[in-house]
Amino acid sequence: MPLAVVPAFQRLGVGSALVSAGLERCRMERHAGVLVLGDPVYYGRFGFVAGSRFGLKCPFPAPHEGFMAIEFEPGAFAQVSGVVRYGHEFDDLE
């Protein structure tokens, strides 16, 4: 799900609160991990690392370092590798 904050409300912690709440919800729902495409400096603060570390590749033309993953369960991505497939909502971006 895309995340954006209106410029007038940026740098007030709104984005960080949204990311933290989203990650907590994913943990509560027992998701094994999360993928994100975004700024590595920003998302790195939350524990995201390059998806390539897990053998995962972005299906979109994007900088390699901007495609990131976080595991909630150690080894969550151990049995998968290759190009990630997104839901049909993202078909026009491939």
Task: Summarize pLDDT for 13-27 with one digit per residue, the tens.
Answer: 999 999 999 999 999
Query: Which tokens is 65 given?
Result: 């370092």
Count of the separate structural domains present in the chain? 1
pTM exceeds 0.85, yes or no: yes
Flag whether 77 is in a domain. Answer: yes
CA angle 20, 22, 23 (to 5 degrees): 65
Q: What domain range is 64 assigned to? A: 7-93
Question: Quick one: CA torsion of 73, 77, 78, 79, rounded to 10 degrees?
Answer: 120
Query: Which tokens is 23 given?
Result: 């990650």
Query: Which tokens is 35 given?
Result: 């993928």
Task: Specify the DSSP element, H or E, that contains 37.
Answer: strand 33-37
Flag whether 1 is in a domain. Answer: no
Exposure of 74 by Cβ count < 10 A (0-12 exposed, 13-18 middle, 19+ buried)? exposed
Flag whether 2 is in a domain. Answer: no
Flag whether 72 is in a domain. Answer: yes
Flag whether 16 is in a domain. Answer: yes
Model confidence pLDDT, tens digit, residues 44-69 = 999 999 999 999 999 988 899 999 99
